[in-house]
A and B are shown apart, each in its own frame.
Chain A
Amino acid sequence: EDKVVQSPLSLVVHEGDTVTLNCSYEVTNFRSLLWYKQEKKAPTFLFMLTSSGIEKKSGRLSSILDKKELFSILNITATQTGDSAVYLCAVSPPSGSRLTFGEGTQLTVNP
């Protein structure tokens, strides 16, 4: 059974801090790893990673994949209160069909 494990499950920081969220996976067939941000309702897409060692960056957020060690990290620098959300990691098989999600990391950024 495919498995995605995120850590920590919960994190509380102050505005301006840098955070690192972790995602490890054990899947039968792997094509890509995706990060989503879930605020009140819908997961909103952040990154899709398919190749090891290539950093994807969007503003203060960045992410990288290690296919040898089967994990990914999501970094957020200079956190703001608007970054408070659940961050979800998911993996996709080669067919691109079902996503298998982790439990999520609840990030709270206090002013």
Chain B
Amino acid sequence: EPEVTQTPSHQVTQMGQEVILRCVPISNHLYFYWYRQILGQKVEFLVSFYNNEISEKSEIFDDQFSVERPDGSNFTLKIRSTKLEDSAMYFCASSGLTGLNYEQYFGPGTRLTVT
């Protein structure tokens, strides 16, 4: 069964450093997303991406964040200068477009720890 994959599973970085989180969405999917979940809190939407551009972003997704689809398979989230409050689980998701099918399928997540 196709699945979303993410690397690394855990990333530890120092405050102020740049990190890139990587995702490989399900191969025939067209929409890609990043969400985050701070420990003990809700899953929060960050950004959606379609046709090589951002289709929607939340207020959390400020200038420190960027997304890219550098090739036909990867989808990345970059945090330019990490802050302590960026520590969270980051989930990538993808969805296809089959009629009205908008189910989003999530990857296993990358736990980001900023020290």
Contact = CB atoms under 8 A, between A and B. Distances in A.
Interface residues of A, number: 24
Binding site of B, secondary structure by majority: helix, strand, loop or mixed? strand
A92 B45 contact: no
Contacts of A20: none
Interface in A69-111: 88, 90, 92, 95-104
B102 A45 contact: no
A41 B89 contact: yes
B26 to A, nearest CB: 12
A49 to B, nearest CB: 11
Nearest to A44: B106
Contact of A42 (B48, B102, B108): B108
A88 B43 contact: yes
Interface string B35-78: 10000001111001000000110100000000000000000000
A103 B109 CA distance: 18
B106 A98 contact: no
A96 B107 CA distance: 18
A43 B102 contact: no
A61 to B, nearest CB: 15
Nearest to B101: A48
A32 interface: yes
Contacts of A36: 106
A36 B91 CA distance: 14
A31 interface: yes
B108 A43 contact: no
A64 interface: no
A101 B102 contact: no
B109 A98 contact: no
A23 interface: no
Top 8 nearest A-B pairs (CB, nearest first) are A96-B102, A98-B45, A101-B43, A42-B106, A97-B56, A97-B48, A42-B108, A41-B108
10 contacts: A36-B106, A41-B109, A42-B109, A92-B102, A97-B33, A97-B56, A98-B33, A98-B48, A98-B58, A99-B33
